[in-house]
Amino acid sequence: MLIQIWKNCRELRFKLSFLLFIITLDALLATFSISLILPIADAALGSVGQNKAWYSEFIPDAFSINIKSLLFFMAIILCVKFFVTLIRIVFTIRLTENIRLNWQKALSKNYILQPLKAVNSHRRGKVINDLIYETGNGSNFIFNYLFYLTQIIVTSTILLLLLSINWFWMGVALVLCVTGWFTIGRVYFNYARSLGKKAISLNQNLNAIMMESIQGIKDIKISNSEKFHTGKIAEIAEQTNRNRKLVKIAQDIPTLAKEALFAGAVITIAFYLPTDLNEIKEIMPQIALFLVAFTKLASSVSLISSLRFKVTAKYPSFLLVTKLLNTQKTPPENLEDGLPLKTLGDYIVLKNVDFSYSEEKPVLNTMNIEIHKGQVICITGPSGAGKTTIMDIVTRLYDISAGSIEIEQGDATDYKLSDWRRLIGYVPQDPIIYFGTIRENITLGQENISDEDVNKACALAGVTDLIDSLPKGIETELYERGANLSGGQKKRLALARALAHKCELIIMDETTNAIQEKAERKILENLKQNKDLTIILITHRESTMKLADVNYRIEDGRAHKIDL
């Protein structure tokens, strides 16, 4: 596992090396402080102990019989250990939380920069689960694993200390422990990994179903399907609950084992303890050291088992995140590849365009549409004919299968995708309204959009009256997805957003259908006053088509110009 961490966190190798040094130092100081119990006990009993540990020979006689000096020395060691432990904890937390942050940034960037076709293939709830929960579990894996290494080193040094005191009995105990670790422990940790993998799957499904239910709450209520959806959520929630209980029960098994081991050790000491008082005094320092060391050892072994369980359970999350980061199936969109583009020019021509979402069923077939600067163009046709697909192609959300998209300067694909989309505004059937103020929803954080630009865009889109009627005006906070706005108000606000960004082409997908005809006429008349602004309307409304300069009807994958 350490190799996997080292392999997948290359940019953090220096910090990991420093942390491993601090972990080792912390463990050695912990063991050294425990080893001082023996000379202190010797001094307290008047140095009557005959079986001193090997390291007692390195302590000066004048120092070894002075209990106060030994205690002060032990206090200094413990203070140093305190600061080393503090450094280890703070550094580990900072390191692992920064790893989590970097993973979340990288995964969200990878997801958002993927082509739309790849984005649509993902389940939204699964993406959110991986972004929020699995990155957290993966970073917790690293945190727990580093703590696990600390306890491994502490346990190893304490075992060496105890072996140096009484190699026979500690050797027997060590063999029994190692045998138990590689037999019972293997089953235990394999079980932990299976629970961890199951937890990922259950959390992904639960988040996905919750997301789908929240997004479709209106349809759920209208279709009277509350029972169906709550039943699906309850079923997975119950499975998740059972899995979490099993995880917590299994995590507490090492604690119970620690208590049993300690009780067994005390019983063994009591059984073999001599009855003669002088003999007891001779071995009492060793018994004191053994009890303190074994208490620490039992706690460390219990903690190691518990941490190993957590590490094993969260290891699949670490592997999942690193796999998502290192094996992206679809390359991201390159927004900056190509020539700079300052204007769309006088026209956009879709020439002999073919497109299909799958090879079996083409949507567009040798389609031709001309879009000239300053025109209002209406596109109509039956449902599923490909009207919205045309807009996705114009905005270059999808690449065409054949044909070309041409502008005055040349082929559209020769120019930067970021520049192209900057010049095009899109108002969908169901506009996305973000949680925030009206101003924030219009500017989207673009500092170059002035208050004058915002006010002008609001006036053209017909939302000024709405803003003036609100107590806080443009600083009014909107609910998520614009829940405190009507359908028409959301579409006008989305139109104001496109206008404020000074787009040269605005595409409105069934936008004016939720607006009264009189208001629609006024909005379009205002927009047509800007001779540099081109408008594409997808609509079924005949009154809207009468306001257009050119009308196209989409049938059988082709565009037919029609007159009204």
**Residue at token pair 């966190």:** 9
Percent of the chain with pLDDT over 90: 2
Q: What is the predicted pLDDT for the residue at 51? A: 47
**Closest C-alpha among 62, 146, 44, 40 to residue 99:** 146
Burial tier of 399 (Cβ tally within 10 Å: 0-12, 13-18, 19+): exposed
Helix (H) or strand (E) segment spanning residue 407: strand 402-407
56-114 residue pLDDT tens? 555 555 555 566 777 777 788 888 888 888 888 888 888 888 888 888 888 887 777 77
CB 290 within 8 A of CB 272: no
Lowest mean pLDDT among 8-12, 107-111, 132-136, 528-532: 8-12
Mean of pLDDT over the chain: 78
- The rounded distance, in Å, linking the Cα atoms of 150 and 304 is 9
Q: Is the pLDDT of residue 262 over 70?
A: no
* 5-19, 247-261, 265-279: range with lowest mean pLDDT: 265-279
Starting from the edge strand earliest in sequence, which strands make up the sheet with 558-562, in order? 424-427, 505-509, 534-538, 376-380, 550-555, 558-562
The answer to whether the predicted template modeling score (pTM) of the entire model surpasses 0.85 is: no
pLDDT at 48 (0 to 100): 46
Cα distance between residue 551 and residue 520, in whole Å: 17
Helix 167-215 and helix 277-326, axial crossing angle in degrees, nearest 10: 30
Answer whether residue 49 shows pLDDT above 50: no
So what's the pLDDT on residue 273? 63
Residue 316 near residue 134 (C-beta atoms within 8 A): no
SS3 label, residue 74? helix
The better pLDDT of the pair 376, 122 is held by: 376
Confidence of residue 278 (pLDDT cuts 50, 70, 90): low
Q: Helices in 113-225 by DSSP H: which ranges?
A: 116-120, 124-129, 135-165, 167-215, 217-222
Tens-place pLDDT, residues 486-517: 877 888 888 888 888 888 898 888 766 656 67
Does position 355 have pLDDT exceeding 60, yes or no? yes
Q: What is the pLDDT of residues 397-439, one digit of tens each?
A: 888 888 999 988 999 989 998 888 888 888 887 787 888 888 8
Average pLDDT score over residue span 336-363: 86
- Summarize the confidence of residues 359-377 as an average pLDDT: 86
In which band, very low, low, confident or very high, does the pLDDT at 40 lie, cut at 50, 70 and 90?
Answer: low
**What are 385's two structure tokens?**
């004919």
Give mean pLDDT, residues 118-132: 76
Is the pLDDT assigned to residue 353 strictly greater than 80? yes
**One-letter amino acid for residue 519 of the chain:** A
Q: Are 241 and 202 in contact (CB under 8 A)?
A: no
Please give the pLDDT value at position 463: 84
pLDDT digits (tens, 9 = 90+) for 293-321: 666 666 677 777 777 777 887 888 888 88
Q: Are 554 and 379 in contact (CB under 8 A)?
A: yes
Using CA atoms, how far residue 165 sits from 55, 56, 170, 384, 387, in Å, is 10, 11, 9, 83, 84
What are the tokens at 56? 């007692």
Compute the distance between CA of residue 305 and CA of residue 80 in angstroms, rounded to an integer.
Answer: 27
